[in-house]
Structure formats: C-alpha cells, structure tokens
Amino acid sequence: MSEIPVTDDQVGEHAIVAVGPEPLTVTQVVDVARHGTRVKLTAAARERILSARGHVDALAAAPRPAYGVSTGFGALAVQSIPPDRRATLQRSLVRSHAAGAGAPVETEVVRAMMLLRLRTIATGRTGARIDTADALVSLLNASVTPVVAEYGSLGCSGDLAPLSAVALALTGEGEVFDADGTVVPAAEALAAAGIEPVSLAEKEGLALTNGTEGMLGMLAMAITDLECLIDTVDVTAAMSVEALFGTDRVFADDLQYLRPQQGQAISAARMSTALAGSAIVASHRGDDCPRVQDAYSLRCAPQVHGAARDTVEHARTVAGRELASAIDNPVVLDDGRVESNGNFHGAPIGYVLDFLAIPAADIASMAERRTDRMLDVARSQGLPPFLAQDPGVDSGYMIAQYTQAAVVSELKRLATPASVDSIPSSAMQEDHVSMGWSAARKLRSALAGLTTVVAVEYLVAARALDLRAPLRPAPATGAAVDALRERVPGMGPDRHVAPEIAAAEELVAAGKVNAAVAPLRSDGEVTS
C-alpha cells in the first residue's frame, strides 16, 4: 500500500506559512508537508529563540550540571561533560541517535516533522540558536529533505532516530533527497542550496531531536485524508444503495434526530442529498414494492460513517492541543529555569492514531459487503453475475472483490493497537514508551488500503448504475459515474482490471469524486 497520491490542484492556498509561537493548523501542516508551501519565522519567534538561548548560555557557564547541556543523555545523564567537550557531545548525540533502519519514509512525512520541530523551536522553549532555526527554514524552502528510515522511533523521548536524521543533515552529514528527488550527500545538497552546515552548540542536539513531531505530522495528514475518504464513501455508498434498489427513506432527518450523533446526521444528509432526484430510487418507491428494509451495509451506512466522522473530530481535538504544545526535554521556562519533564511521551498522539485505524477498517468492511452484494446474482436485484457482460465467458469484477476483501482483512490486522506494546530501552531509564510512530506508520498503510477498498466500490457501483439504464441515477451519483467514465470505460468484455482500480484510486485519493458531486457539501446541504 503506497503513499496516497496528490495532484497539482490540491496545492494549498497559502503562499507562505509564518512559523511562530502560536499553534499551527492541520491545513498549514499539510500545505508545507505535501504541497511544498514555503515557511518563514515570525519576529515573535526570533525574539523568543534569542531569549531562550540566553538562558541556555548562562546555564552552560554555571558550575551546576544541567541535563543535555553539560551532561550525557538518557542512562548516561550522570556523566558530567567538561566545557571543551560539549560541542562534541552534541555532534555525538546526533550521530549516534541517527540509527534508523529500513526503507526511507515518505518525503511529506519528513517535511511535516521538520516544520513542526521548527515551530517547537519558535516557541522559545528549546534553547536552540537562531542560526539553527534559520537553517531549518532554508532546508524546507529549498525542498531538501533528509533521508529518514522507517524504523528507529519508540515514540518516547519523542521520535529520536527520525529527528536525529534531520539534525544530522543540518550538520552536513548523512543523505538527503534534493529538490528533484535524487538521493545525494547532505553536504553536497546544502552547498548547492547555499545553506551553511550547522555546528551544534550546547543543548541543540536535544532541541532538534527530542519531540513527537514525526507522529504528529502523520496524524495531521491522516485527519485530512480520512475526512476526504469519509466524504467519498458517503457518495459510493449512496451509489450502491441506488444500484441495489435500496431506499433513501432511512436517511431522513426525522429518523436521525432520534439519535443525535453529529457525524451520523452529516453522513445521512449527504447520502440523502446524493440520492435526490434519482429515477432509479423512484422506480421502486410505490406500495407495490415487496421489500421491507435493506441490509445493514446499506441501511446503517450513516451510523458507521458518522461514527468515523466523530472519531476524526476527537483526533482533530487532540492534534490541535499538540499543535499548540512545546515538546522538549529539558525545556526552557519563562523564568530561565531549564527543567526536565515527561511531555515527550507520545501517548496522547499514539492513542488517537490507533483509534483512527478502527473506523478505517470498519468503513472498509462495510463497503466490501456492499460490493459483494452488487456482484452476487442472488442478492443484486436483477443485476448480472459479477456485472459481467457475458457471464461465464466474462468474469466482470469478480476478482476485484477478491482484492478488496484481501485489503479489508489486512485493515483488520492494522486496527490492532500499537500503543499497548511498550518495550523498555536505554538501560531501563526509558522503561515505558508510546510506540506512536509505529501507530502512525500503521495508520498510513490503513488509509491507503481504505482508498483501494472505496475505489473498488466506486468501480462496481458505477457499472451497476450503468446497468440500470434506461433509468437514470440521481444528478449527484450520475456526476460521480461521469467522472469515472473519463478514466475508465463502461460496460464491455473483460479488460485488464488492475489499471481500472488504479485509476479509481487516484480519483478517490485526490478528492475528485467529492469534487464531481459538488455542490454537495460535507454537511449534506446543497450550495447555490
């Protein structure tokens, strides 16, 4: 399951993101991480950074040992480091902690991590120097992205190995992706971009590495992607209801009022609006229709999609708090004290990352059941077996459903929480960890899988609606079919199906299905 693709028309509206002590938004994170929006430090950020650095410099000159300034790290915190060895201490920290392994993570993940660490530095709580912050700004704006390995973070003491890979690149070591996506030595890329490598001073090793920005960046992007997927599956579910001669009466406002769950009401309104004006639905609305009620995968779609919406809202609340946080250890306080703390623990983020994997799996499971129903001649209300043109000679979308089912099973495994699997490290000094990075990586795979599942339902429902001709679908669902037909032809003899799934995935991931049914809004209302 690969990184969700992005098209040019998704580029954010912001020409530049100003990074200061104030919280960033989820949208700003996505704009910089995914769409290459440039950044700058605000005047308030520069003032806070300079003030905090003054406190660290004073502490470095004091005789009392201070963690991360004049001592070793983790279980080596009892080792006092003489002044002439402290620059070496910071360089050694970054080199030793950049110990990741595995394939490189996606560029957008690293850019999100870089932006969020810059914002933490901008709060004036880390003690990093202004030159170091400026170098991080320059790296982002030059589209130079450090190579960060898949494995190495336990989500406590933050995302140490991933952030250390970023810090290492700032010093001119390690490897990076240049603006063309080619892996080159960091020193070469920095020189080409006119960026002077950073020589780390006291406290800066920790200031660059001791945070939860990796998992938080992935949470921000997951919220954005899952919101889009839920909107899309409202549309594909409505298409399936229509294609299966289901009723739209169960989505009525007065029925949703009886159970005042906000997300449910939104999805029900969206599905009801998507089906408005359908000749297919109208064709079996009379008293002579013998069917009493639809299967759960049709009738209960708003309840499941809505619960997913509410889960995303909870995750957005947690993300908002984290985007307002300053995560470091030790941290510089307003009175100049530099105090150790436990705010680097990733549990708040890890829990919601795990939580989001549950509705991703459940939405997919329900979508697969609707797909199977459309392909099964015993339950499809008169549609041909597997929607094949010449059943027996042709297999139609039979194996597309196999692929969908395989992904659904994988999503169920990915819904197993990572955050309950703590493992001790650093000679038992770090004896409980969040595994938030692992939860985030797992969720990214889950959302890519959900994209595939929704894409297959989209393909199958569109063909089923075509087969209901001469009855016409609703204007909204018909527009969704038309958008697909620009990339995937309609009914015919069997074709190579994998490219059709890939084309549908691209439309789903890029939000093109939602755009096609505009002016249907996310609250179910129709705009003018």
The most distant pair of C-alpha atoms in the chain lies apart, rounded to whole Å, by 91
Q: Catalytic one among 67, 351, 397, 458?
A: 67
* Tokens at 3, concatenated: 């990184």
The per-residue DSSP string of 19-35 comes to: ESSSPPPHHHHHHHHHH
* Tokens at 489, concatenated: 């032809």
Structure-token match 């336990």, residue found: 154
The per-residue DSSP string of 286-352 comes to: STT-------HHHHTHHHHHHHHHHHHHHHHHHHHHHHT----SSEE-TTS-EE--STT--HHHHHH
Nearest to 139 by CA among 196, 101, 98: 196
The per-residue DSSP string of 121-170 comes to: HHTT-S---HHHHHHHHHHHHTT-EE--EEE---SSSSSHHHHHHHHHHH
Structure-token match 């009466």, residue found: 249
Structure-token match 């406002």, residue found: 253
Give the C-alpha separation, 447 to 421, whole Å.
22
Structure-token match 């001469």, residue found: 470
Q: Which helix (H) or strand (E) is 184 found in, with range? A: strand 183-185
Do residues 331 and 125 make contact, with C-beta atoms less than 8 angstroms apart?
yes
Do residues 241 and 275 make contact, with C-beta atoms less than 8 angstroms apart?
yes
Nearest to 380 by CA among 455, 463, 464: 464
Q: Tally the residues of the chain.
A: 528
Do residues 302 and 231 make contact, with C-beta atoms less than 8 angstroms apart?
no
Catalytic annotation present for 397: no
Residue 503 DSSP SS3 = helix
Residues with a catalytic annotation lie at: 67
